[in-house]
Every structure is written in structure tokens, then in C-alpha cells.
């Protein structure tokens, strides 16, 4: 078995389309950054969060961000995402965006594994080939 992932760090640069008329990253983009880091972590684990033909899906059931400093066009920053809680049917993440040592923002997100073949959607346990690739981080910052 491959090692289990509990977190991932992704380096990004602010793109022009991500800033608002004040020249700072629009608040809504932070949620996309968190999701981008989540997807990169899944790829690092050898998975896709939206694999073709997959019978399960992963809707977001909770998400929040707290903002400490602005990000501006062309600035580089790191997105640190960690698994802080994991159950048979859900994963909760904590995400911290940093520019060097400065914390820009921190957020949380919870996803639930659902059976896509039924309506309404119903929570179901993660398939073992997914659950076995992840674990709760020991170093939650």
C-alpha cells in the first residue's frame, strides 16, 4: 500500500482575473484556491475527485474563510491544506494561505461522499480505494 496523505501544499501566483476593482483578490477566489489544493492533494494520492464513471461524488456541505491580509496581482503564495477530521462518510479540511511567513487567510471545508445513482443524494461510506489513501494530519496548524 502507498503512504497515506494527510495534507498538501500548493504554490500559486495571483492571476489578473482573480482580482477585483480594488486590485486585491476577490473573497470568493479563496474558496477556489482551497478546492484547487484539495484536488492537487487527491492527484498526489493517485486519485481524481471527479473520476469518469465513478459512482460516488463529493459535494461540499460546509465552507468558511477568515481573511487577515489582502493578496494582490502577481503575488506568490502557498496554500496549505490538511485533513483535520475524517469519518466513514466525510472529510473535513483546514486550509491556510501564506505569503512567506504571513498568514493571508484560513478556512475550512467539509465534503461528504454520496451515492450518485440515487435521488435525492444519500451519504455513503468512502470506497476503500479512496479512504485508504488519506488520514487525519498529526500537525494541524
Tell me the average pLDDT across 51-55: 88
pLDDT tens, residue by residue, 103-131: 999 999 999 999 998 999 999 999 999 99
Handedness of CA 57, 13, 31, 23 (dihedral sign): negative
**Contact call for residues 13 and 76 (beta carbons, < 8 A):** yes
All 3 cell numbers of residue 18?
Answer: 482573480
Farthest CA pair distance, the chain: 49
Q: What mean pLDDT value characterizes the chain?
A: 94
CATH homologous superfamily of domain 7-131?
Hotdog Thioesterase (3.10.129.10)
Tell me the average pLDDT across 46-69: 94
Percent of the chain with pLDDT over 90: 89
Helix, strand or coil for residue 88?
coil
Banded pLDDT at 16 (limits 50, 70, 90): very high
Amino acid at each position: 500500500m502507498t503512504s497515506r496523505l494527510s495534507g498538501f501544499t500548493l504554490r500559486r501566483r495571483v492571476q489578473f482575473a482573480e482580482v477585483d476593482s480594488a486590485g486585491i483578490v476577490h473573497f470568493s477566489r479563496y474558496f477556489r484556491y482551497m478546492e484547487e489544493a484539495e484536488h492537487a492533494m487527491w492527484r498526489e494520492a493517485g486519485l481524481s475527485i471527479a473520476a469518469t464513471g465513478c459512482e460516488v461524488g463529493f459535494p461540499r456541505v460546509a465552507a468558511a474563510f477568515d481573511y487577515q491580509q489582502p493578496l494582490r496581482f502577481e503575488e506568490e503564495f502557498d496554500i496549505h491544506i490538511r485533513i483535520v477530521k475524517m469519518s466513514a462518510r466525510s472529510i473535513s479540511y483546514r486550509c491556510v494561505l501564506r505569503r512567506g511567513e504571513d498568514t493571508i487567510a484560513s478556512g475550512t471545508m467539509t465534503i461528504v461522499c454520496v451515492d450518485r445513482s440515487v435521488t435525492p443524494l444519500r451519504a455513503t461510506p468512502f470506497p476503500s480505494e479512496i479512504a485508504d489513501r488519506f488520514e487525519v494530519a498529526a500537525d494541524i496548524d
